């Protein structure tokens, strides 16, 4: 809205009408607790117990008398980016247990599957 009101010199009411949003959404301020103490303790536990997943980390917090529900805990766990790798590394390769931030998609991959072999009837007969 600031862009619209500043660039086109129109009122906030008109800018909201053009953008099709309510004026009350501009003055919205969240009252939700940021849970900073929980986030800090969760990061500390995740660094010391690298192989623990969110379920075991929650058990540790419950033993420390943190009153945290399962859904809220999982939401905070995901927001902090503490998810473990789902797939084991191939053979004995060493790997980072926790990903640093969110994984980014490569700009070179187009997302399409490609094959170096051509599927011809001759190949199908020789495979039998």
Q: Give the tokens for residue 47.
A: 């660094």
Contact 77, 83 (CB under 8 A): yes
**pLDDT attached to residue 84:** 77
pLDDT of residue 91: 66
3-state secondary structure of 125: helix
User: Residue 60 has what pLDDT?
Assistant: 96
CA neighbor of 68 nearest in space, from 32, 47, 98, 39: 39
- Residue 108: predicted pLDDT: 56
Q: Is the dihedral of CA 114, 120, 126, 128 positive or negative?
A: positive
Dihedral pair phi/psi, residue 126, rounded to 5°: -75, -25
| pLDDT tens digit at each of 128 positions of the chain | 889 999 999 999 999 999 999 999 988 999 999 999 999 999 999 999 988 999 999 999 999 999 999 999 999 999 999 987 666 667 666 655 665 655 555 555 555 665 555 555 555 555 55
Cβ contact 60:45 at 8 Å: yes
Q: What is the pLDDT of residue 110?
A: 57
CB 46 within 8 A of CB 82: yes
């Amino acid at each position: 809205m600031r862009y619209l009101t500043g660039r086109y010199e129109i009122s906030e009411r008109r800018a909201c009408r053009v953008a099709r949003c309510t004026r009350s959404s501009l003055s919205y301020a969240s009252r939700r607790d940021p849970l900073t103490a929980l986030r800090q303790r969760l990061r500390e536990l995740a660094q010391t117990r690298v192989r623990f997943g969110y379920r075991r980390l929650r058990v540790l917090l419950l033993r420390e008398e943190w009153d945290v529900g399962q859904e809220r805990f999982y939401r905070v766990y995901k927001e902090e980016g503490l998810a473990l790798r789902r797939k084991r590394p191939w053979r004995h390769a060493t790997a980072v247990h926790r990903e640093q931030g969110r994984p980014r998609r490569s700009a070179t991959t187009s997302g399409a599957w490609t094959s170096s072999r051509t599927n011809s009837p001759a190949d199908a007969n020789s495979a039998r």
